[in-house]
Structure 1
Amino acid sequence: MKKMFHLLIIAIIGVLFIYGLTNIVLNFKGYTGADFLIVAIMLAFVALLELVLIKQYKRTYSLEAEEARKQREADRTKEKFDVESKILGSKSRQQLIGADLCIKAKHMAGLPIADGAEIFVYRCKDKVVFERNQDTIELDINKVRDILIKTDVEIQKSYVSSAGGAVGGYVLFGPLGAMIGGRAKEKKSTKTEKYLIFAYEKDGETDYISMEVTNEPNASLFNSNYYDLSKNERKLTSL
């Protein structure tokens, strides 16, 4: 409504200018010098007013059009982000979660997810997030005691050297230690497997979350130095 009123005023002033100019042409011979001066001043004023109104119109409604365009772009970007942020492992999903890194791994043990299932692991400043399908699991970094990358060979050696993997009543590296260590004599493949292991405190005891990351080079970027685990509360264990 305001825009239409603005256009109407511009049109009326334009008509007045044309009327005045036409009147000068039609009555040219009857005008004296003083008449020409007065009419010229009036026409100049009308023309100036018309220019001011046109510039104001362009400035006002061009800005509105630009704002509307930006809003449409923002809406499209948000809609695209909302769709992409539901895709596990995507950049948009990482942004939504607040992660600066995401890797794909095979779950071995420690999460309420089937063993061997493919999961996405996100590195956030204050937590580690694990996702598969509709399940999202967060591990508070304040509960983490250690983050390790171990090969199956290293796990097997530790298992054998620690009398069957039993250390202080617990199986070394949790179920993964028993799983990998127990098959030491069965392995025939020469391929070295790598595992990412999170040791964390659960109900006053140490528990483990483990996953295979053999083909994931960025797995090593999940480490105790990044999270500075030395700041976590020190735990005293009496042997």
Structure 2
Amino acid sequence: MKKLFHLMIIAFIGVFFIYGLTNIILNLKGYNMADFLIAAVMLVFVALLELVLIKQYNRIYSLESIKAQKQIATDKEKAKFEIESKILGSKSRQQLIGADLCIKAKHMAGLPIAEGAEMFVYRCKGKVVFERNQDTIELGIDKVKDILIKTDVEIQKSYVSSAGGAVGGYVLFGPLGAMIGGRTKEKKSTNIEKYLIFSYEKDGDTAYISMEVTNEPNASLFNTNYYDLSKNERKLTSL
């Protein structure tokens, strides 16, 4: 729009210059010296103004200028991205990590993060990334055995029915199972708590990472339908 307006001004001044010059030529005999000087000065002024506008137009809209402006815009976007990508959970942060989904959860057990601390969990193609403050922890999907969404009621029932939550020498759902199962008689609230649980292989054993996701509906999108775990190495356990 600005470019078109600039061109219209150049064209208008150009027409005005041609009209003035033509008028002087056609009425040359009727002009006295004073009129001629005034008209000449005005035409020179108009001509100089036209040249200035043309040079300004070329400077602003030349190919080099356009490239320079695009580069400036690119640099600004890059600087903005670098700032925003440091903000945990932001779209820019997701893009930097390579995630297509991010949720906010409360850590329960399994990571070197305090119990109950809020954290961000990113869903990436070949990994799950956990972040809080300056800590970034990655879990490769090739190590993952299962991904579950369990309520505290389900965990308590499993804990009771499996003789104290012990299955094959391990506490079902890891430390989370012990915490939730151990408070079976203490729970008085009717609110249902939901937990996202990753079971994975660590040093030849099964380990668990768990977090509370009661108020995070997108937690269910972390599942075995998204992560194809069938390609992972199958482990045989004799009971």
User: Normalized against structure 1, the TM-score is what?
Assistant: 0.75
1:75 matched to which residue of 2? 75
Q: What CA deviation, in whole Å up to 9, does each residue of 1:98-152 have, x standing for no partner?
A: 0000000000000000111000000000000000000000000000000000000
2:204 matched to which residue of 1? 204
Please list every run of 5 or more consecutive structure 1 residues that lacks an aligned counterpart in the other structure. 1-24, 26-53
Q: What CA deviation, in whole Å up to 9, does each residue of 1:186-231 have, x standing for no partner?
A: 0000000000000000000000000000000000000011011111
The aligned amino acid for 1:131 is E
1:1-239 matches, cutoff 5 A: 58=58, 62-239=62-239
Q: Is the 8 A contact 2:107 2:117 kept in 1?
A: yes
Please identify runs of 4+ aligned residues in structure 1 that moved more than 2 A. Answer: 57-61
Partner secondary structure for residue 227 of structure 1: coil
CA distance, structure 1, for counterparts of residue 98 and residue 118 of structure 2:
21
CA distance, structure 2, for counterparts of residue 184 and residue 63 of structure 1:
73
CA distance, structure 2, for counterparts of residue 168 and residue 222 of structure 1:
26
Q: What CA deviation, in whole Å up to 9, does each residue of 1:76-104 have, x standing for no partner?
A: 00000000000000000000000000000
CA distance, structure 2, for counterparts of residue 154 and residue 72 of structure 1:
56
User: Normalized against structure 2, the TM-score is what?
Assistant: 0.75
CA-based RMSD of the aligned residues comes to 1.8
Please list every run of 5 or more consecutive structure 2 residues that lacks an aligned counterpart in the other structure. 1-24, 26-53
CA distance, structure 2, for counterparts of residue 237 and residue 171 of structure 1:
16
The aligned amino acid for 2:70 is K
Aligned length: 186
The aligned amino acid for 1:107 is H
Matched-pair identity in %:
85
1:155 Cα deviation after fit: 0.1
CA distance, structure 2, for counterparts of residue 194 and residue 136 of structure 1:
24
Partner secondary structure for residue 108 of structure 1: strand
The aligned amino acid for 1:143 is K
The aligned amino acid for 1:113 is I
The aligned amino acid for 1:215 is N
1:58 Cα deviation after fit: 4.3
Q: What CA deviation, in whole Å up to 9, does each residue of 1:145-170 have, x standing for no partner?
A: 00000000000000000000011110
CA distance, structure 2, for counterparts of residue 232 and residue 175 of structure 1:
24
Q: What CA deviation, in whole Å up to 9, does each residue of 1:54-80 have, x standing for no partner?
A: 99x949970000000000000000000
